[in-house]
Chains A and B, each alone.
Chain A
Amino acid sequence: MSNIDRRTLVRGSLAAMMAGAASSRAALAQSAEPILLGVSGPLTGPNAQYGAQWKQGFDLALDEIHAAGGINGRKLAYQFEDSQSDPRQSVAIAQKFVSDPRIVMELGDFSSPASMAASPIYQRGGLVQFGFTNSHPDFTKGGDFMWSTSVSQADEQPLLASYAVRRLGLKKLAVLHLNTDWGRTSRDHFVKAAKEYGAEIAVTEGYIAEERDFRSTLVRVRDASPDGLILISYYSDGALIARQARQVGLKQTICAASSVYSPKFLELGGEAVEQVHLGTRYFPEDPRPEVKKFIAGFKAKYNGQEPDAFNAYSYDAMNMAAAVVKIGGTDRRAIRDAFAKVKDVSSVIYGQATFDVESRRVKGAMNAELVVRKGQFTLWDGKPT
């Protein structure tokens, strides 16, 4: 577990050396070393689970990239540094990556405080910081070396609002949201869109990430008598809220943000998440070829495990990194410029991803309306629940 990254590195360089030996001496000099990406993210500490999910997505993408011949014949590898999502450590890692000439670009960090504290160092050091889970509206404003494929909440939340209000016909909503920068931004975009679509917001409640008990919150929700509950949550807290809502006898329709899309949501929520609606970027029976390839590859590599949203983000991110490096080569500035040049990179989240050069983000995330039926995520058939 601990040194997948280094093992990948060693394996990568060995394979590259063999490939080089097979061709010519000149090629050997060029392709002996893999092209190295730096990853700053949590492997220990309270967010460790997300770092572990990143690795799964990265490794799958790397397998596919290498099977397809690598980057112009060279291998791609990453060096994962554990930041614990702590800004003090992410800034040290940033200096480490910036001063290491082998690193051509950086991916991460996970939380906004850790990522954005490191941004000035990457910007001044001229190394791309590619944040693929950084939805904070100010992340890419850190400078022209900050790029993000994270779905902007300004894009995602209107889709969820449309699902809840226009499609499910909910008129009076209670919004429960994680009280973080992500949850807060999402809530604001959701509320704005839902009001535009004609719904009334009965109550909004922000809770902290460590919260386990939502019974009293749900009494507040009940007293506001909404006809639908909106969860702007991650899968673990989303499952807790759904369970407790059903336990205290709330029978309203529940509609959740795409971040709950994970097999863990079903496992942790059990019966209670039955009939929960959610918008997602992809789903198991998705006919899109890139999604089919991703899900099949993931299950084959990880003993039948279903991938979730964070696996998909990191898989997409590594593919994007490969596409960028293919154009930009190993020069750090050329890589930054390559972000503006890549077009229509195959992506699980976007279908085809192209950066908007102004905002340095990608627009137009795919959208699918799912519902949990018989313990499975299935495409909503339009039938009221």
Chain B
Amino acid sequence: MSSWLDYTINGLIVGNVYALVAVGLALIFGVSRLINFAQGSIYLVGAYIGWVAVVRLHTPLPLTIIVVAAAAAMVGLIIERFGLRPLQNSVRIAPLLATIGISFVLDQLVMLTFSPNPRALPSQLPDVRFQLGGGTIGPLDLLIAGVGLTSALLLFVFLRYTKLGWAVRATAQDRDAAMQMGVDVNRVNQAVFGIAAALGGVSGMLVGMYYNQIDTAMSLQATLKGVVAEVVGGAGNVPGAVIGSLLLGLVESYGVAVFGTSYRNLFAFLLLVVVLVLRPSGLFASARQAPPEPLTGTFIAPSRPVRIPRWALLVAAAAFAVLPFFPVSSYVLQTLINAWLLGMLALSLTLVAGTMGQVSLGHAALLAIGAYTSALLSLTLAVPVGLAVIGGGLMSAALGTLLISPSFRLRGHYVSIATLAIGEIVSLVILNWESVTRGPIGISGIPPLSLFGYDLISPFSVYWFSFAVMLVLALLQGRLLGSHLGRSFRAIRDDDIAARAYGLSLNRYKSLAFIFGGFAAGVSGGIAAHLYSYINHETFNTQQSILALTVVILGGLGNVVGAIVGSVALVGLPELFRIAAEYRILIYGIVLLLLVRFRPQGLLGTI
């Protein structure tokens, strides 16, 4: 019995830590309807500024907090002014992508300045412990709780009782109307970003002190948990974010209690999916609140796609097909093989996200399902590799569609969050379902690609094989887009109410899109498994999902040729920047930001 008290206390303590990030995220979402993926990076920056202040400048705690808050607020203001404000009138998805790019840049800057080694950030509070249940808590626990609750309370009062607060809420409800009423929307945005960033920075510092450890990997984890907590509480709802965080902490803690430590995150993401399915706007969204996303499809703005003449496409395809006859190195071929594999994933995502409007952030899960299915079929059942890869595609189509189906009723950002969670769940199931997936040990000795009894092992044959498969999938998808199916998909994306009124069954069409997309992604994963010969739960990770989404947006949502062009560009660019060693991801982030800034509809435009 006393253990349950301890699990409860521990859950609340961790929830407390999550709340600090979630509140900042909620504030920004409340005003600009944007999930700020850079919030974790500001948290990271805050932690390192705190380290400089404490370890180098020996500032006392109150001064440290002020310094960190001020510096982080500056970073927030810079992000708002130069990263996001120029994107105000562009596609809804552009700011989201920009925050991802900004987080790359910030994380890399911190890593380059401070080296990737973890550092100790000593707490400046007296080390006294209070007995509570079977464990103890210290003054930092209380300080973190204090900061979390006070900031939530202050924000609540600010939003409800001050003029600027009213302006913030007015802007959140209807940006254009607020502007007509004379609200300086830019100033409101600035204020919100400054406050959220200050909060993010201070929380990074406090959490660093709490664990006596800061490192550059803390950014992504903070963002992930913060987003989960925020959405559970009701996106944009500040007190909701605090309660969501505590709930998340409790669920994780009880999950550990009942099933063991390795199931911890599984429960966090399951909680998210359950909440999204049962109460799509979060637990504490009021009924009066305006719907979280506009009903018509402004999430993806229509644009005029670049028309590429058919002969040019033919010439390009022919040129890539005969490329291995020229004296190119295997390295170039291998890089292009990677591009074709990513291209298949991007085709899948551009159909689901671009044509259908379901922006998925968990697409790597489809790769993993295809890869594991194909690897296990060929290894344990001795299925020929060619058939096993197709089996991987089919399994990915079936399982992927089944897993995603509960989130069919969601819209806009919520689809992205739900798919992000489903992606994490798949990866954690692979880690824990040892009897089938061999858990963390992974599957080794996967046979190489082969077709009709011939092994495809030379770079040339793998190149042709993957290029041909991608080409066939692309042609099929091109046909699909031109048919009535493609038109129905786009109708649902652009206005789902009108589409339903016209008699289209949303779920059926969404399923069809995911079945086709799941197949392409599964085949890509299957080929990758046979190419690598070894896979484990880390092979297909969240970074892959984010990369695929970047490709799709870069190429132009729904654009088949764009997906392929984007894949070649995003596989090729980091390889080109190889000469820049540690700086290459930084350069990649900057290039990404510039692209979003100057060509938000993608290189080839949305179809």
* B-binding residues in A (CB < 8 A): 1-3, 5, 43-46, 48-49, 52-53, 80-82, 84, 86-89, 91-92, 94-96, 98-100, 111-113, 116-117, 119-121, 124-125, 136, 138, 141-142, 176, 179-181, 183-185, 205-208, 210-217, 219-220, 222-223, 236, 239-240, 243, 247-249, 264, 267-270
A264 in contact with B532 (CB, 8 Å):
no
Q: Of B117, B342, B539, which is within 8 A of A113 by CB?
A: B539
B441 in contact with A119 (CB, 8 Å):
no
Bound complex: CA of A53 vs CA of B329, how far in Å?
A: 31
Bound complex: CA of A111 vs CA of B442, how far in Å?
A: 12
Q: Of B7, B329, B338, B457, which is within 8 A of A124 by CB?
A: B457
A220 in contact with B534 (CB, 8 Å):
no
B262 in the interface (beta carbon within 8 A): yes
Q: Of A44, A125, A179, which is within 8 A of B111 by CB?
A: A44
Interface size range on B against A: 35 or more
A206 in contact with B583 (CB, 8 Å):
no
Chain A residues positioned under 8 Å from B439 (CB to CB): 179, 184
Determine, out of B57-65, B66-74, B464-472, B573-581, the stretch whose residues face the partner at the interface: B573-581
7 additional A-B residue pairs with CB within 8 Å, beyond A219-B3, A247-B138, A249-B136: A48-B216, A49-B118, A113-B538, A181-B442, A211-B261, A220-B260, A268-B118
Chain A minimum-CB-distance residue to B137: A247
A3 in contact with B211 (CB, 8 Å):
no
Bound complex: CA of A247 vs CA of B445, how far in Å?
A: 44
Chain A minimum-CB-distance residue to B118: A236
Chain B minimum-CB-distance residue to A80: B581
Interface string of B509-537 (1 = CB under 8 A from A): 00000000000000000001001111110
B578 in contact with A113 (CB, 8 Å):
no
Contacts A82-B581, A112-B442, A248-B134 given; does A142 touch B533 at CB 8 Å? yes
Contacts A2-B582, A213-B17 given; does A184 touch B261 at CB 8 Å? no
* A-binding residues in B (CB < 8 A): 3, 6-7, 10-11, 13-14, 17, 108, 111-112, 115-120, 122, 129, 134-136, 138, 211-213, 215-218, 221, 252-253, 256-257, 260-262, 264-265, 329-331, 333-335, 338, 341-342, 431, 439-442, 444-445, 448, 457, 459, 528, 531-536, 538-539, 543, 571, 574-575, 578, 580-585
Distance between B116 CB and nearest chain A CB, rounded to angstroms:
4
B580 in contact with A2 (CB, 8 Å):
yes
Distance between A333 CB and nearest chain B CB, rounded to angstroms:
18
Question: Would you list 5 pairs from A and B whose C-beta atoms are within 8 A, ordered by A residue?
Answer: A82-B582, A86-B543, A179-B431, A205-B260, A270-B122
* Most B C-beta atoms less than 10 A away, residue of A48, A80, A89: A48
A117 in contact with B539 (CB, 8 Å):
yes
A206 in contact with B261 (CB, 8 Å):
yes
Chain B minimum-CB-distance residue to A223: B3
Contacts A95-B331, A181-B442 given; does A113 touch B116 at CB 8 Å? no
Chain A residues positioned under 8 Å from B252 (CB to CB): 216
B533 in contact with A116 (CB, 8 Å):
yes
A91 in contact with B329 (CB, 8 Å):
no
Bound complex: CA of A142 vs CA of B534, how far in Å?
A: 10
Chain B residues positioned under 8 Å from A99 (CB to CB): 329-331
Chain B residues positioned under 8 Å from A142 (CB to CB): 533
B444 in contact with A116 (CB, 8 Å):
yes
Bound complex: CA of A88 vs CA of B213, how far in Å?
A: 31
Bound complex: CA of A43 vs CA of B582, how far in Å?
A: 6
Chain A residues positioned under 8 Å from B582 (CB to CB): 1-2, 43-44, 48, 82
Bound complex: CA of A45 vs CA of B107, how far in Å?
A: 9
A181 in contact with B134 (CB, 8 Å):
no
Bound complex: CA of A270 vs CA of B538, how far in Å?
A: 31
Chain A residues positioned under 8 Å from B543 (CB to CB): 86
A208 in contact with B265 (CB, 8 Å):
yes
Distance between A380 CB and nearest chain B CB, rounded to angstroms:
25
Contacts A96-B331, A180-B440 given; does A268 touch B212 at CB 8 Å? yes
Chain A minimum-CB-distance residue to B336: A92
Bound complex: CA of A161 vs CA of B129, how far in Å?
A: 33
B216 in contact with A184 (CB, 8 Å):
no
Distance between B435 CB and nearest chain A CB, rounded to angstroms:
14
Chain B residues positioned under 8 Å from A117 (CB to CB): 531-535, 539
The main secondary structure of chain B at its interface with chain A is helix
A95 in contact with B329 (CB, 8 Å):
yes
A219 in contact with B136 (CB, 8 Å):
no
A120 in contact with B442 (CB, 8 Å):
no
Distance between B432 CB and nearest chain A CB, rounded to angstroms:
9
Bound complex: CA of A220 vs CA of B212, how far in Å?
A: 23
Chain A residues positioned under 8 Å from B459 (CB to CB): 95
Distance between A272 CB and nearest chain B CB, rounded to angstroms:
9
Bound complex: CA of A45 vs CA of B10, how far in Å?
A: 30
Bound complex: CA of A314 vs CA of B71, how far in Å?
A: 38
Chain A residues positioned under 8 Å from B138 (CB to CB): 247
Bound complex: CA of A220 vs CA of B582, how far in Å?
A: 41
Bound complex: CA of A117 vs CA of B116, how far in Å?
A: 25
Bound complex: CA of A208 vs CA of B256, how far in Å?
A: 13
Chain A minimum-CB-distance residue to B263: A206
A181 in contact with B536 (CB, 8 Å):
yes
Contacts A49-B118, A82-B581, A117-B532 given; does A219 touch B444 at CB 8 Å? no
Bound complex: CA of A228 vs CA of B335, how far in Å?
A: 49
B136 in contact with A220 (CB, 8 Å):
no
Chain B minimum-CB-distance residue to A96: B331
Chain B residues positioned under 8 Å from A111 (CB to CB): 538
Bound complex: CA of A180 vs CA of B538, how far in Å?
A: 9
Chain B residues positioned under 8 Å from A219 (CB to CB): 3, 6-7, 10, 134-135, 257
Contacts A46-B217, A207-B261, A247-B136 given; does A95 touch B534 at CB 8 Å? no
Bound complex: CA of A120 vs CA of B182, how far in Å?
A: 65
Bound complex: CA of A43 vs CA of B577, how far in Å?
A: 13
Contacts A52-B117, A212-B221, A215-B135 given; does A95 touch B334 at CB 8 Å? yes
Bound complex: CA of A104 vs CA of B329, how far in Å?
A: 17
A268 in contact with B120 (CB, 8 Å):
yes
Chain B residues positioned under 8 Å from A44 (CB to CB): 108, 111, 582, 584-585
Bound complex: CA of A211 vs CA of B264, how far in Å?
A: 9
Chain B residues positioned under 8 Å from A216 (CB to CB): 7, 10-11, 252-253, 256-257, 261, 264
Chain B minimum-CB-distance residue to A267: B120
B257 in contact with A220 (CB, 8 Å):
yes
Chain A residues positioned under 8 Å from B583 (CB to CB): 2
Chain B minimum-CB-distance residue to A45: B585
Bound complex: CA of A179 vs CA of B265, how far in Å?
A: 13
A217 in contact with B534 (CB, 8 Å):
no
Chain A residues positioned under 8 Å from B330 (CB to CB): 95, 98-99, 125
* Most A C-beta atoms less than 10 A away, residue of B7, B115, B211: B211
Chain A residues positioned under 8 Å from B448 (CB to CB): 120
Chain A residues positioned under 8 Å from B532 (CB to CB): 87, 91, 113, 116-117, 120
B261 in contact with A236 (CB, 8 Å):
no
Bound complex: CA of A77 vs CA of B559, how far in Å?
A: 46
Q: Of A5, A49, A120, which is within 8 A of B117 by CB?
A: A49
* Most A C-beta atoms less than 10 A away, residue of B13, B14, B444: B444
Contacts A45-B585, A267-B120 given; does A92 touch B536 at CB 8 Å? no
Distance between B102 CB and nearest chain A CB, rounded to angstroms:
17
Distance between A45 CB and nearest chain B CB, rounded to angstroms:
7
Chain A residues positioned under 8 Å from B538 (CB to CB): 111, 113, 180
Chain B residues positioned under 8 Å from A249 (CB to CB): 134-136
Distance between A234 CB and nearest chain B CB, rounded to angstroms:
10
Contacts A141-B445, A247-B138 given; does A236 touch B253 at CB 8 Å? no
